[in-house]
Chain A
């Protein structure tokens, strides 16, 4: 009886270990996705976006600020997002000058992924604002950086 239970335990443990995703076995790569907001001709003063990896092969490992000085600092995010697949990033600038217009890289999200299949991402704009704090209609997009 006892031997049977022991075998069952090791059998289950072996099964679980066999199901460990490749990302935990060291067969992984670090990549990045650039996040863009296009506010047209209106200066962008604030934004909030939700980014998610949707097919379970990527984990967020870092979040970097964007290109314009107004958004050069990393955006705000919940630290619980790190090592997970979903994050809400947000930032604002109270600067009266130097706010970006047009398509601008406002952040970069770094992730770790297994090589088993390409990651899929989803980006949702939650809100954006102009320098007076009014809601602004913008386009949000992302682009995966090519591996170095």
Chain B
């Protein structure tokens, strides 16, 4: 298991993150979508062993590990009603 210190930004309460209208939790590459490229970005960071400056603790459990990659993948492929995914 790879453990990485969470950047200070992500210890902020969600309300302060929500003030930034462009903030999408899990949108690591800042393209306003959570997709496989976000999971890929996090997987690459974990493989390289460094947190970089990405918002990494996606599932909010205080640890950055493969489970955050999984959380991003699950969100990326989640089926919403037609036309909403």
Contact = CB atoms under 8 A, between A and B. Distances in A.
B9 interface: no
Given A50-B85, A90-B35, A77 B40 contact: no
A133 B41 contact: yes
Interface residues of A, number: 24
B14 interface: no
User: Which of B44, B77, B79 has the most chain A CB atoms closer than 10 A to its own CB?
Assistant: B77
Interface of B: 29, 31, 33, 35-37, 39-41, 43-44, 47, 73-74, 76-79, 82, 85
B44 A133 contact: yes
Contact of A92 (B36, B78, B79, B82): B36
Nearest to A129: B37
Given A46-B36, A77-B77, A86-B82, 7 more contacts: A46-B37, A48-B35, A78-B79, A88-B79, A94-B44, A127-B37, A129-B37
A78 B78 contact: yes
A122 to B, nearest CB: 11
A47 B36 contact: yes
A2 interface: no
Main SS class of interface, A: strand
B61 to A, nearest CB: 20
Nearest to A78: B79
Contacts of B40: 45-46, 92, 94, 129, 133
22 contacts: A46-B36, A46-B37, A46-B40, A47-B36, A48-B36, A76-B74, A81-B79, A87-B79, A88-B78, A88-B79, A90-B39, A90-B76, A92-B36, A92-B39, A94-B40, A94-B44, A126-B35, A127-B33, A127-B36, A129-B36, A133-B29, A135-B31
